[in-house]
Amino acid sequence: MKDSNTPLVTVVCLTYNHEKFIKQALDGFALQKTSFQFEAIVHDDASSDGTADIVREYEKKYPNIIKPIYQTENQSQNEEKFVLRAIFSKIKSKYVALCEGDDYWIDPGKLQKQVDFLEKHENCSICFHATRVIYENVERSPRISPSKKQRLGKSILTLKDFLKTGNIIETSSVMYRWRFIDEDITKVLPLNINPCDYIIHLLHAQKGNIGYIDEIMSIYCKHPDGIWFNFDKEEHSLKYGISRMNFYKFLSENFYNNSMEYTINTVLPIFIKLILIFAKNKRYGLLDKLFEKFSTYSKMLDLPEYKEVYENYSLPSKIKHIKKQRLIYFVLFIVTAIIAVSLFGSLII
């Protein structure tokens, strides 16, 4: 239940080693001109650079806006302590906006415009706007996201539209009519899921339409240290593959009714890709976790209707090779251990 001291808007900012960017993000919050109270929860995940020191400076300068959380140990790989879910569960504001520490706002009227839009359009549960995407250390021209084509030429989209377009909402552009003031988000949002913002978009799109403001009000900075900069590389899959599978499993169960078409065309190819990447890199712990956690998809690979998908990736021979390779390693380990014990015994004698 909301009390009179609750800000109308809460901004959530996650930051980690964003020393080069965080000032712009914090300036974007501090320079907002609003007719209402708002706060910015800035969560520093135990940065090893100067990010936390910069946040402390702004905390002192803008104590009514900047509300920091400083971690002493990095929580990004802690599946049991999903910090974003913990932060979200405590928010009681009517509206919530997001902006990561390496992105920033360029319009001092951004929050006011989005609140005004949502107040006027009560059938909308989300409002987002155009974002300029810039690239650091990469020779690519800036672009505007989303394009008119990406948003289907519409300024109001439905959940059905959004499932068709994919995630066209840049994190720094979104504002929600927060559905979790009275609902328990921990009962809905699973642990260890990535991308989390897309799930939050979808959960709010269940409650209303998605409104678009055709004004560029934020910057999304794509740089080599960003999570999604190399999302198509094997390193990304090794680090985030399990959480991505959690994401697709959640989508399948909650938005596609476990449809066979979605499973065959979307989920299984990703599942198979992860099998091959984990195996190639000899990450057998991840491989075991993948088969155990997503056993439903493992079993599907043996069904006749999935035979074509299965054989297209030459999985039968590859999995057989993986098992054979693991058996060889295990035998070598046992033989080595026996030899070591024998040598040790002979030295003692």
Instruction: Read off the pLDDT of residues 233-275 as tens digits, 9 standing for 90 and up.
Output: 788 888 889 989 999 999 999 999 888 889 888 898 889 888 8
Domain-terminating residue out of 195, 222, 249:
222
- Decide if pLDDT at 181 tops 80: yes
Going by pLDDT thresholds of 50, 70 and 90, the confidence category of residue 307 is low
Q: Does residue 180 sit in the same domain as residue 321?
A: no
Across residues 174-202, what is the average pLDDT? 91
How far apart, in whole angstroms, are the C-alpha atoms of residue 33 and residue 41?
18
- Phi first, then psi, for residue 197 (nearest 5°) are -60, -35
Residue (of 130, 142, 143, 136) closest to 226 by Cα position: 136
Q: Same domain for 115 and 175?
A: yes
CATH of residue 157: 3.90.550.10
Residues 270 and 212 in one domain: no
Per-residue pLDDT, 285: 87
The whole-number pLDDT of residue 342 equals 59
Q: Which residues contact 149 (CB under 8 A, 6 or more apart)?
A: none
The pairing of beta strand 209-222 with beta strand 104-105: antiparallel
> In the prediction, which pLDDT does 340 show?
53
- Is residue 306 predicted with pLDDT exceeding 80? no
| CA 340 to each of CA 39, 237, 336, 343, 344: distance values in angstroms, whole numbers, following the listed order | 62, 37, 6, 5, 6
| CA dist., res. 336 & res. 349, Å (int) | 20
* Number of structural domains the chain divides into: 2
- Considering the domain architecture, whether residues 188 and 65 belong to the same structural domain is answered as yes
3-state secondary structure 29-64: HHCCCCCCCEEEEEEECCCCCCHHHHHHHHHHHCCC
Model confidence at 21, pLDDT cuts 50, 70, 90, reads very high
190, 222, 254: which is the final residue of a domain? 222
Mean pLDDT (the chain) is 85
Asked whether residue 3 is assigned to any structural domain, the reply reads no
pLDDT band at 232 (very low <50, low <70, confident <90, very high): low
Closest CA to 104 of 255, 220, 222: 220
pLDDT of residue 3: 61
For residue 1, tell me if it sits in a domain: no
In this prediction, residue 77 carries a pLDDT of 63
Q: How many C-beta atoms lie closer than 10 Å to residue 105's C-beta? A: 24
Lowest-pLDDT range of 68-72, 81-85, 180-184, 192-196: 81-85
Q: Are residues 128 and 181 in the same domain?
A: yes
- What would the 3-class secondary structure string for 58-105 be? HHHHCCCCEEEEECCCCCCCCCCCCHHHHHHCCCCCCEEEECCCCCEE
Q: Sign of dihedral through CA atoms 309, 312, 313, 317? A: positive
pLDDT in tens, 77-134: 665 546 777 888 889 999 999 999 999 999 999 999 999 999 999 999 999 999 999 9
- Weakest-pLDDT range from 133-142, 146-155, 261-270: 133-142
Residue 187 domain-assigned (yes or no)? yes
Residues 91 and 15 in one domain: yes
In a domain, 347, yes or no: no
pLDDT for res 11:
98
Residue 286 three-state SS? helix
Residues 94 and 206 in one domain: yes
What pLDDT, on a 0 to 100 scale, did the predictor assign at position 66?
A: 97
pLDDT tens track for 210-228: 999 999 999 998 855 656 5
Please report whether residue 339 resides in a domain: no
CA distance 180 to 199: 14
What is the C-alpha to C-alpha distance for residues 15 and 22, in angstroms, rounded to an integer?
Answer: 8
Question: Residue 7 class from Cβ within 10 Å (0-12 exposed, 13-18 middle, 19+ buried)?
Answer: buried
- Residue 227 falls inside a structural domain: no
* The pLDDT of residue 138: 73
Higher pLDDT, 346 or 15: 15
Quote the domain boundaries for residue 153.
Answer: 9-222
Identify whether residues 151 and 271 lie together within a single domain.
Answer: no
Q: Is residue 344 part of a domain?
A: no
Asked if residue 247 and residue 213 are part of one domain, the reply reads no
Query: Would the pLDDT of 326 be above 70?
Result: no
Q: Domain check: are 108 and 151 in the same one?
A: yes
Is residue 104 within 8 Å of 21, Cβ to Cβ? yes
Of 96, 93, 83, which is closest to residue 12 (Cα–Cα)? 96
Residues 118 and 249 in one domain: no
Q: Are residues 106 and 245 in the same domain?
A: no
Within a domain: residue 349? no
Provide the angle, in degrees to the nearest 10, between the axes of the packed helices 284-293 and 234-255: 0
300 closest CA partner among 323, 274, 333, 272 = 272
Choose one of 187, 222, 257: the last residue of a domain.
222
